Amino acid sequence: MRRKFCLVCSRPLVLFQLLSAEIWIHAPGQVEDGDHMPVPVDNIDVSARQRCDFCNADPAVGLLPVAGEIRIPPFLVSANQPWAVCATCRDLISADRWDDLIHHAAETVAAGIASGATKRSLLDELGRMIRQVRAQVTGPVRPLDELT
């Protein structure tokens, strides 16, 4: 599984692919986007500053193996990359409560959004993305401490 980290902040980066261009960025909605450009590198301790890829909670406690491509048109969000999970998201995934995971992620990510229409749109987009992830999971969540 191909993973890159930011040399500046040690956070994992997300691969966005648009047409044939590969662009490594901080996860959408992360504060790191505003204070520096990502500097992709291959090797940083795998537990370095992981944040949940579903709800943005910090810290992540495990990685969920995902095969194939996860797309949010027009972008490729991840290709054969594990998804970091916090304890809450890990528990929901382990209990096969994917609809609850969608609602948890949407509520957490949308906490600062005032508009009901915007929240509904976010719930729809997260639902599509998480359903893609669910269909492409290749195994259980692996604790980060087992991977270091």
For 118-136, write each residue's pLDDT tens digit: 777 778 888 888 999 999 9
Q: Which of helix, strand or coil describes residue 37?
A: coil
Residue 43 lies in a domain: yes
Residue 148 lies in a domain: no
Instruction: State the Cα–Cα distance between residues 148 and 136, nearest whole angstrom.
Output: 24
Contact 60, 45 (CB under 8 A): no
pLDDT digits (tens, 9 = 90+) for 44-62: 655 566 778 888 888 889 9
Residue 66 lies in a domain: yes
Q: Which of helix, strand or coil describes residue 100?
A: helix
Residue 70 lies in a domain: yes
For residue 27, give its domain range: 5-143
Instruction: State the Cα–Cα distance between residues 12 and 42, nearest whole angstrom.
Output: 10
The structure's pTM equals 0.73
Q: What is the pLDDT of residue 147?
A: 57
pLDDT digits (tens, 9 = 90+) for 3-42: 788 888 877 787 777 777 888 887 765 665 568 888 888 8
Instruction: State the Cα–Cα distance between residues 147 and 109, nearest whole angstrom.
Output: 27
Tally of structural domains, the chain: 1
